[in-house]
Structure 1
Amino acid sequence: MNINQLRAGRGLALPFTKAARSNGDLESGGQRLPTIRGVPDGLRNHFIAMCGEFVGTVLFLYFALSGCQVANSIPSSAGLTVAQTGSNPQQLQYIALCFGFSLAVNAWVFFRISGGLFNPAVTIGMCLIGALPWVRGVLLFFTQLLGGIAAAALVSCMFPGPLNVQTKLGGGTTRVQGLFIEMILTAQLVFTIFMLAAEKHKGTFMAPVGIGLSLFMAELTGIYFTGGSLNPARSFGPAVVNHTFFSYHWIYWIGPILGSIVAAGFYKFIKMLEYETANPDQDTDHAERVEERKGPLMDAGMNEADAHPVAAQLADRDTGAGGDGHDSDGRAMAKGKGRESREMDGLGMNGGRFR
């Protein structure tokens, strides 16, 4: 069943749309508000991305912070609170799982709407590598901060007791140590996003799963020492709701932003070295495309030895032409075809001219 193909007499028509009229057509365009057609596409797309990023950030942080609230508030079997007993590995693992799974699910859902970033540091990194226009990046930056505040407010309203999810230094961590912990962990997360969401596995299930696992691993390391923020919106929201800003709150801004800059610098470095040529044909999806292409060639009478290189060339041509958004320049170089730098004719990921 195609949910985009509307059927007469089924579903609920939104008021003031063409679909609500008795004689209106039921094409997908009938769902649009009449006034939306007069809005420039650029402005409309920015608004759509902001809406998606706000809702996605709220959902991501709501489930992550609510899990953190449970872990930090629920008493032990002896009736003691976490403040009385101190942190334990099970508590830290539970929080890390909440953040990792929440990011994976919501990034999967909102990727096609806004990119599923949910993090001002990630937004800055995407702008630095050219995957996101700076205008869109600025709009999403402030939208994510608002989403962090809204998520923290929802957790504070819905769960009993004080909001107990604010990031703070622990385990004797100094401010300088906390700054570098946040920087390194954020750099690892942002670089994972570059390589999965902006490169080979863009739009597949591998990207959100890998990103969620990356956050889970970073949280395991950072929660005890810094609270595992890696995200200015995650620290800013609870601080606003609690009306409490620690004197070292700045590390939850500077650390992630520096980490994003480090990740962007290394990513641009390996792109300049044309890393794709170091290990060509490493993706299983490319091998599957080659096999799909090889079948019809062999059915037409071509032997397998001749069909394989032809099928590989066809698969490279498909991906290079935007068949699934993958970049095949590395494979082309490995086959001696050379590689040229070019700018995309249209807008790439999130409206940027990303290559």
Structure 2
Amino acid sequence: MGGILDSTRLCGSPTVVEVFQKVFAELIGSYFLVFAGCCSVVLNNSEKTKGQITFPGVCVVWGFTVTILAYSLAHVSGAHFNPGVTLSLAIYRRFPFKMVPLYFIAQILGSFLASGTLYLLFEVDDNSYFGTRPAGSPVQSLVFELLATFLLMFVICAVSTDKRAIGKLGGVVVGMTVTVDVFIAGPVSGASMNPARSLGPALVMNVYTGFWIYIVGPFVGAILGATCYNFIRHTDSNPPI
């Protein structure tokens, strides 16, 4: 009897509720990030609406969606929506390691559900496939994914973990970075920068062409980006805290 009461108290404790809120926020954010961004891809490439969004439009949709979700959910979960971001922040003690698996599950599940929604709403063919596949050589796509994610993580560290940065504009800056990354990396690698973003469509559509690129590139790029910013963070005018 005592064990049952203890379990009930644990499930209703503020700590458990807070963890659930954070994980649910990550799931919701990951869902709408993938749904909005990939929806723009489908609309731009499908036969019925081909070209209506345009490639610059797709870039803007991804960037604006990140900005909207960052301002909506950053105060709840940190608005990672990306396993590479979550792991990198955990490595540099900006996020608890014990939460990493829960965030990974939420991010991947959100991407999977969003991809499933798009699959049900549209007739997706090879041209309107909304996942990521390398357009260039595997090495070229890998380098683009690594560099694009490096820049994204570098900027995230600057605006969200450094007190010297102007925090109120952080969401705008991160969104602009995503827009620039999609502009330059999109035609080559698809500009995933996010293993969860690539995994969801791959699972739903059963397409795994060059999938390893979208695991290795974003994870390595994010860790390197966080490492470089962590190195320049510790200056004489800004001692380690």
TM-score bracket, shorter-length normalisation: 0.7 to 0.9
Number of the residue aligned with 2:229: 267
Contact 2:87 2:100 in 1 (8 A): yes
Q: Does 1:177 align with 2:140?
A: yes
Query: Given that residues 49 and 113 in structure 1 are in contact (C-alpha distance below 8 angstroms), is that contact kept between their aligned partners in structure 2?
Result: yes
Residues 97-116 of structure 1: pairs in structure 2 closer than 5 A: 97-116=60-79
2:160 pairs with 175, 197, 201, which one?
Answer: 197
Aligned to 1:303: none
In structure 1, the partner of 2:29 is 56
Deviation at 1:184, TM superposition (A): 0.6
Q: Indicate the structure with greater helix content.
A: 2
CA distance in 2, matches of 1:244, 1:38: 39
Number of aligned residues? 231
Percent sequence identity is 26
Tell whether the 8 Å contact from 2:155 to 2:174 is kept in structure 1 after alignment.
yes
TM-score by length of 2: 0.88
2:19 alignment partner, one of 46, 50, 56: 46
Partners in 1 of 2:101 and 2:112 — Cα distance?
17
CA distance in 1, matches of 2:213, 2:124: 27
User: What is the letter of the counterpart of residue 159 of structure 1?
Assistant: F
Contact residue 42 and residue 124 of structure 2 kept, 8 A = no
Q: Distance in 1 between matches of 2:47 and 2:63?
A: 21
Q: Show structure 1 runs of 5+ residues with no match.
A: 1-34, 83-89, 278-329, 331-338, 342-354
1:167 partnered with 2:129: no
195, 198, 202: which one pairs with 1:235?
198
Q: Residue type matched to 1:267 in 2?
A: Y
Cα distance in structure 1, aligned partners of 2:71 and 2:142: 30
Aligned residues of 1:68 and 1:95 also touching (Cα < 8 A): yes
Amino acid in structure 1 at the alignment position of 2:211: H
Distance in 1, matches of 2:182 and 2:55, equals 8
Instruction: Structure 2: state its 5+ residue gaps.
Output: 1-7
* Distance in 2 between residues matched to 1:202 and 1:57, nearest whole Å: 25
Please give the TM-score of this superposition, normalised by the length of structure 1.
0.61
Mark the CA change 1:124 to 1:37 in structure 2 (over 3 Å): closer, same or farther. Answer: closer
Measured after TM superposition, the shift of residue 176 of structure 1 is 1.2
Q: Return structure 1 stretches of 4+ with deviation > 6 angstroms.
A: none
Counterpart in the other structure of 2:57: 94
Backbone CA RMSD of aligned residues: 2.2
Identify which of structures 1 and 2 has the higher relative contact order when contacts are C-alpha pairs closer than 8 Å and 6+ apart: 2
Shift of 1:41: 3.5
Query: Partners of 1:59 and 1:113 in 2: how far apart?
Result: 16
Task: Please name the residue that 2:189 is paired with.
Answer: 226
User: 2:26 and 2:196 mapped to 1: Cα distance?
Assistant: 12
TM-aligned CA deviation for residue 203 of structure 1 = 5.6
Cα distance between partner residues in 2 of 1:202 and 1:37: 38
